[in-house]
Structure 1
Amino acid sequence: MSQVELKENIEMYINAVNEIRDSMNIIKGERYLANHKKTLLFSIIDMLSKGVFGENYGGNRTTMFEKFILMFCEWEHAERISLQQLVHLLNRTEEKQFSRLKDYAKTELYKFPSSIPVPFSYDPTYKELKKLMPKGESTILGVELLSLKHVSLLWKLRNSLVHEARAKGSSQLFDFESEPHYIHYSTIGTDSENNLIETEERWEMYHPVGFFNKLIDTALVNLRDYLEEQSINPYNNYDFDPLWIEVKQKDF
């Protein structure tokens, strides 16, 4: 295939992706509309990762998804560790070796402003937290600290929506915010004298629909250049065989 033909194929591919995405963004609904749009936009990300990586990484969808986000989407907080998730995890262990990390995490979470959407820039980096982990340890209760990265948690959200039609985290409260963020919730009760008091507080994550469109917009720009530089025809990474099932052995 000539370079001109390659560029034509790449342009046709990107135009097709945008056409499909446009049809997703105009769907209508009520209570669960945001979830449905996110589910569909996740499928675009899956499609693009397949187009660029093919069967690389052994066709491992998790790896392909995370690599794609990190390589093409320019999400600056993708590799930060979710403080909210870290605190939830640490609350489940009483091991003293994690006391320093637990104190730090709870102190930092307490600093989150409760009246506004809190961006993920408030979250620590892996390097910052690694210093507080027990020497030689990388897991808490068998959970890798790196699995609390936002890019990994985004994969968890994707699976929940795609396979269970169920979102994780908060519902939308701040219409003006297009970046992922934390939302503060309080439960109000009464004390022994019937005075109103805060009996519980928690933080929940929310990923707006606009965030997914931003990821895809950025990825398409970077993807076009990458496909051309690496001479990758994305159509070659999809199965267009009229036989829907995979043949396991060849008959000569």
Structure 2
Amino acid sequence: MDNPINQNICDFFDYHDKLRNSIINAEFDYQSEVNRMVLLFVLIDSLSVSISPEENNVRERFKSFIKKFSDWGNNERYSLVQIYYAIKEGKIEISEDLFVYIEKKIKSKIRGQVFNPDFDEVLNSPNLIKNNLSKIDKYSYLELLWRFRNYLIHEFRIPGRGWNISDGDKIYYFSVSVDDEIKRGEYTWELIFPIQYINLLVKNSIFNAKKYCLEKELDPSKSFDYNTLWT
């Protein structure tokens, strides 16, 4: 490779892909999946800095990077399940027609089913959501991914009451019984981001960010400070 910038770009992203592969195959004495997820999100943070070093808002940098490079089709969809529970807990109020729509969709699911975000077809009903966007924005899958990342990074745990029951790379919902004598027989729908889904986001992002940098001749390693002084 004659162009030194191109060589630097390839070396940088090849290094990150080797890290990704090492992380996804790593084994730990305890909580292996949580450990691997934390490290994969750290890798996403590193990649996002390499592309947008001027953006100091970590949240905006993270979301922008995922939207641009991860090839994730669901990032702008909304989680009807999360919106439903937010309404039940009094965190948001939405129009009556949207609430009726959401409640009907939720109650159409049978305990024990597993379903994916294609269930959230409310985005195909713009008349329903146009007056509610500001209220439900925090329940987009991209925003939920950011919150999921924060639980892992800052609290070292996966949010919610569910656990991964799939080896696949798609996000999904499944039902979990409520462990309460008073609420015996009740259950909740839990949103699950599997480890292989996070791995796929990172893998796609590395490939697409590398392609972007090669096209723009942008050396991502220049985004980092390698000086002796740390501050």
TM-score (norm: length of structure 2): 0.88
Of 232-241 and 115-124, the range deviating more from structure 2: 115-124
Query: How do 1:159-170 and structure 2 match up within 5 A?
Result: 159-170=150-161
Tell me whether 1:238 sits opposite 2:224 in the alignment: yes
Query: How do 1:136-215 and structure 2 match up within 5 A?
Result: 138-139=133-134, 144-187=135-178, 199-215=185-201
CA deviation map 1:122-153 (0-9, x unaligned): 1135563x523585x544xxxx4222110110
Tell me whether 1:47 sits opposite 2:33 in the alignment: no
Gaps of 5+ in 1: 192-196, 246-252
Q: Does the C-alpha gap of structure 1 residues 47 and 94 become closer, same or farther in structure 2, counting only changes over 3 Å?
A: closer
Amino acid at match of 1:118: F
- Count of aligned residue pairs for this structure pair: 231
Of 168-177 and 3-12, the range deviating more from structure 2: 168-177
Decide which structure has the larger Cα Rg and report it. Answer: 1
Paired position in structure 1 for 2:75: 78
In structure 2, what is the Cα distance between the partners aligned to 1:166 and 1:113? 28
Gaps of 5+ in 2: none
Q: Does the C-alpha gap of structure 1 residues 7 and 161 become closer, same or farther in structure 2, counting only changes over 3 Å?
A: same
Q: Does the C-alpha gap of structure 1 residues 230 and 173 become closer, same or farther in structure 2, counting only changes over 3 Å?
A: closer
Query: Shift of the alpha carbon at 1:111?
Result: 2.4
Higher helix residue share? 2
CA deviation map 1:210-250 (0-9, x unaligned): 111111111122112100112210011112121111xxxxx
Tell me whether 1:101 sits opposite 2:110 in the alignment: no
Query: Shift of the alpha carbon at 1:174?
Result: 2.4
In structure 2, what is the Cα distance between the partners aligned to 1:9 and 1:37? 27
Query: Shift of the alpha carbon at 1:205?
Result: 0.8
Structure 2 residue matching 1:115: 3-state secondary structure: coil
Structure 2 residue matching 1:202: 3-state secondary structure: strand
Q: CA RMSD in A?
A: 2.7
Tell me whether 1:69 sits opposite 2:66 in the alignment: yes
Query: Shift of the alpha carbon at 1:11?
Result: 0.7
Structure 1 residue matching 2:186: 3-state secondary structure: strand
Amino acid at match of 2:140: K
Greater relative CO, 1 or 2 (CA 8 Å, sep 6+)? 2
Amino acid at match of 1:131: N
TM-score (norm: length of structure 1): 0.81
CA deviation map 1:50-74 (0-9, x unaligned): 111111xx32111111111111111
Does the 8 A contact of 1:82 with 1:124 survive in 2? no
In structure 2, what is the Cα distance between the partners aligned to 1:116 and 1:178? 18
Structure 1 residue matching 2:95: 3-state secondary structure: helix
Q: Does the C-alpha gap of structure 1 residues 201 and 63 become closer, same or farther in structure 2, counting only changes over 3 Å?
A: same
Query: Shift of the alpha carbon at 1:156?
Result: 0.3
Structure 2 residue matching 1:242: 3-state secondary structure: coil
Identity of aligned residues (%): 23
Paired position in structure 2 for 1:8: 7
Does the 8 A contact of 1:186 with 1:199 survive in 2? yes
Does the 8 A contact of 2:20 with 2:203 survive in 1? no
In structure 2, what is the Cα distance between the partners aligned to 1:189 and 1:166? 22
